[in-house]
Amino acid sequence: MKSLSTIGSGVLFIATLCLPSLSHAGSILIENTDTAPGRTMSNVTCAVDFFIGSNHYYDWQDLGTWQQNSQVHWGIVPSRCSCSGTECQGDCLYDLSQTNPTTGMRLSIDKGDNPTVYSKVYAECWFTINGACHYDWEYLGDSWDGSGDFDLVLNGMNGTWDGSCWGGDFLRSK
């Protein structure tokens, strides 16, 4: 498991990736499946981490409290990032909720800049439940051209405490 020290200075990715300008260009869907009574995911942060050629892209957004039946839809457009050498970051992950909402307890990020192939794609999530930190990431593959979907679930159950944060298989394939 990665250390929380990577937050803010490393790879982050959470959500659904699709291409906003096409009817369907591939998505990474993350569904909140943690429905235990009295538990709310707060301080949820979602991010993207991928490569295009030798350039490394990452960006993150705060989701806040992930309520049941909330609808969130973000887009990724790498051309919105600023690059310094091969490191690119900035505003490539942005809110599309007003134009194309998802349904249920899903976070959807649309893959932009199709047909660009993304490589080394990661999803990463961190959040709190009752004030306790939770963290996990999921490697989505070596290559993603937007032609397929990734269906993931996120919950805060069955983790291991490392002294500062719960870690475990919170984010995983459906």
Query: What contacts 50, CB < 8 A, 6 or more positions away?
Result: 13, 56, 57, 58, 118, 119, 120, 121, 122, 144
pTM > 0.85: yes or no: no
**Would you give per-residue pLDDT tens digits along the chain (174 residues)?**
222 233 333 322 233 333 233 333 467 778 888 877 778 889 998 888 889 889 999 988 888 887 665 666 777 778 888 899 999 988 877 766 655 444 444 566 666 555 578 889 888 999 999 899 999 999 988 887 766 677 888 888 889 999 999 999 999 888
**What are the residue ranges spanned by the domains of the chain?**
4-173
Compute the distance between CA of residue 98 and CA of residue 62 in angstroms, rounded to an integer: 17
Burial of 99 (0-12, 13-18, 19+ CB in 10 A): exposed
Token pair in block for residue 46: 């979602």
Q: DSSP label at 163?
A: S
Query: What contacts 9, CB < 8 A, 6 or more positions away?
Result: none
